[in-house]
Amino acid sequence: MVASEFETASRVVKNRHTSRATESGGFVLWQMAPEMWYVELAVGGSKVHAGCNGKLVWRHTPWLGAHAAKGPVRPLRRALQGLDPLTTASMFSDARCIGEKKVNGEDCFILKLCADPQTLRARSEGPAEMIRHVLFGYFSQRTGLLIHMEDSHLTRIQSSTGGDAVYWETTINSFLEDYRPVEGVMIAHSGRSVVTLFRFGEVAMSHTKTRMEEAWTIEEVAFNVPGLSLDCFIPPADIKRGSFSETCELPKGERGNTTMIGSHRAKVAALEKSEDHTNRNILWRAEV
């Protein structure tokens, strides 16, 4: 973690390069076609699991336990951060080109994806309504590789007491660097993300904004590592079918507080890299 910032209507608190607030950890990510993945993330003394067996996306957090994610099956965002170019290309195949921009000295095309109304409804439940989810991909005109990704979604949570709704806007900007070939596949070996959580709507002129930065470095990438099987993607037996919005999944003690995530040193491995990309198994391992 490089920096964090916490803002309210009356004050702004900033922390930069403070070892006291910086957390480090690691993650391990497995993937198998079609649309199966599993990730373990340990940071700051907490451990989070998430996965998809091709039909169901689920998460397990220390504060909520195991629960199903609402909406259709979708790839893990961390895999899109330069670790899985094939999935990234597939996701943006139906995107609309909206212009060009220079990013870190690289001329890029800007591709835009928007979640359709049906998907937004599927990811909404009870008092939590997802209003918007937009993804921008900045692809190098020279190499075709993803250089920058901006992910933004807006959720409205209606008060159970009949009061004003609360809005949560989450924006994640990721910059991907140091692409290197691994058995013919270009993998981003470093990057950084800036996450902004903006909460507003309860009272006029009242809001909170939390900003976090994350940096990571990939240490190792390997394909065709034996041992991955369908058993790796079985959801927990105690999974709850009721779902929670992404915003509601923040631990109560951390909502609206300054949070810092450690810089990541990652190991990435892939299983069964096949020339037939419709049948491939992949494992990523990371130390954060």
pLDDT in tens, 65-74: 888 888 888 8
Lowest mean pLDDT among 41-55, 116-130, 178-192, 222-236: 222-236
Higher pLDDT, 261 or 151: 151
> Nearest Cα to 39, choosing from 70, 2, 80, 3?
80
**DSSP states of 44-110:** TTEEEEEEEESS-EEEEETTTEEEEPSSS----HHHHTTT-HHHHHHHGGG-EEEEEEEETTEEEEE
56-67: per-residue pLDDT in tens? 999 998 888 888
Read off the pLDDT of each residue in 109-120 and give the average, rounded to a whole number. 95
Read off the pLDDT of each residue in 226-251 and give the average, rounded to a whole number. 69
Lowest mean pLDDT among 97-111, 113-127, 188-202, 238-252: 238-252
For residues 174 and 78, give the distance between their C-alpha atoms in angstroms, rounded to a whole number. 10
Q: Cα 217 to the chain's mean position, in Å?
A: 16
> Nearest Cα to 220, choosing from 166, 171, 183?
183
Whether 182 contacts 221, CB under 8 Å: yes
Query: How many structural domains is the chain composed of?
Result: 1
Query: Coil, helix or strand for 249?
Result: helix
Lowest mean pLDDT among 33-37, 107-111, 166-170, 238-242: 238-242
Q: Please state the pTM of the whole predicted model.
A: 0.79
In one letter, which amino acid is 112?
A: K
Provide the residue range defining the domain that includes 177: 3-286
Torsion of CA 77, 246, 215, 10, to 10 degrees: 150
